[in-house]
């Protein structure tokens, strides 16, 4: 049985690499779908960049100043694959003196000021396009990662070592346990599709204290759909039509905020 998030991910890929894992919509309605195999390719390349490019070792800190985005999910999974501690940056500032900091365009200067040994910037473009401008001492993720290998064998990581630091620090074993518990509590199966309706700038903390909104679907084998929360002036019916087309069965929102007009889907929540 999987004891770390990296093992949980490897088991999922091995079970059916062609199945969708994450489908992401941007505010304009642009859509990108990544199968488990394609997502794993990004994870492997990122893990190889961490190890071969930055010399990342188990226990090193990787600060992610990123919103909930498919690239952020790649970084979390890559960190767990190499045994690094993934640490989310809350707000505009970053925790100091990490081995690696990866940031969106708005927080690149803060990443440089944090004292991180390596700073990586990402445009978060739906199709992985480069940054519009690359400041000195910053590596462009979309450009750099493509040169690394497509395969990575996860390190033999201690399940009891820290793996994620959001509002609290969790070990790899705790993350897997909370992920499985979430899948049971929410009655998720491989037939479900989990829609996360979030503001495009929603921080990684909204995934739950143990990243349950990532790891529970991973444990259940349920694809994830990232879609913008219906904002002011938007017709919520468009959102539900889109999710109906994606065959979504359950949904979650940040802070359990109710979408306009209610929802035809079953809600799941990290509260409690």
Chain segment 241-255, per-residue pLDDT in tens:
999 999 999 999 998
pTM for this entry: 0.96
Rg over alpha carbons for the chain, rounded to the nearest Å, is 17
pLDDT value of position 229: 92
Tell whether the model's pLDDT for residue 28 goes beyond 90. no
CA distance 39 to 143: 17
Rounded Cα distance between 175 and 48, Å, is 23
Do 246 and 195 touch, CB atoms closer than 8 A? Answer: yes
Strands 169-171 and 266-267: unpaired
pLDDT of residue 256: 87
The pair phi, psi for residue 246, each rounded to 5°, is: -85, 0
CA-CA distance, 3 to 219, in Å (whole number)?
Answer: 11
Read off the DSSP letter of residue 91.
S
Q: What is the pLDDT of residue 233?
A: 75
CA 269 to chain centre: 17
State pLDDT tens for residues 179-237.
Answer: 999 999 999 999 999 999 999 999 999 999 999 999 999 999 999 999 999 887 778 88
What is the rounded distance in angstroms from the CA atom of residue 136 to the CA atom of residue 44?
Answer: 26
Q: Quick one: average pLDDT of 63-68?
A: 97
């Amino acid at each position: 049985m999987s004891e770390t998030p990296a093992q949980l991910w490897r088991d999922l890929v091995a079970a059916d690499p062609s199945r969708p894992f994450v489908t992401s919509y941007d505010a304009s309605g642009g859509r990108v779908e990544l199968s488990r195999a394609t997502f794993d390719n990004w994870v492997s390349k990122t893990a190889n960049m961490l190890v071969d490019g930055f010399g990342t070792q188990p226990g090193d800190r990787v600060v992610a100043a990123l919103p909930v985005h498919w690239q952020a999910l790649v970084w979390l999974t890559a960190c767990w694959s190499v045994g690094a501690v993934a640490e989310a940056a809350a707000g505009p500032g970053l925790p100091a003196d990490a081995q690696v900091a990866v940031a969106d365009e708005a927080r690149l200067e803060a990443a440089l000021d944090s004292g991180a040994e390596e700073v990586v910037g990402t445009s978060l473009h739906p199709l992985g396009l480069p940054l519009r401008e690359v400041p000195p001492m910053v590596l462009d993720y979309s450009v750099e990662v493509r040169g690394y290998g497509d395969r990575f064998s996860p390190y033999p990581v201690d399940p009891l070592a820290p793996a994620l630091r959001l509002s609290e620090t969790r070990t790899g074993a705790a993350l897997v346990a909370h992920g499985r518990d979430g899948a049971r509590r929410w009655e998720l199966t491989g037939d479900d599709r989990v829609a996360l309706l979030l503001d495009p700038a929603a921080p990684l903390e909204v995934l739950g204290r143990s990243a349950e909104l990532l790891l529970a679907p991973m444990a259940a084998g349920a694809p994830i759909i990232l879609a913008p929360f219906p904002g002011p002036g938007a017709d919520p019916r468009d959102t539900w039509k889109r999710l109906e087309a994606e065959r979504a069965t359950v949904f979650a929102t940040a802070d359990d905020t109710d979408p306009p007009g209610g929802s035809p889907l079953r809600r799941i929540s990290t509260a409690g």
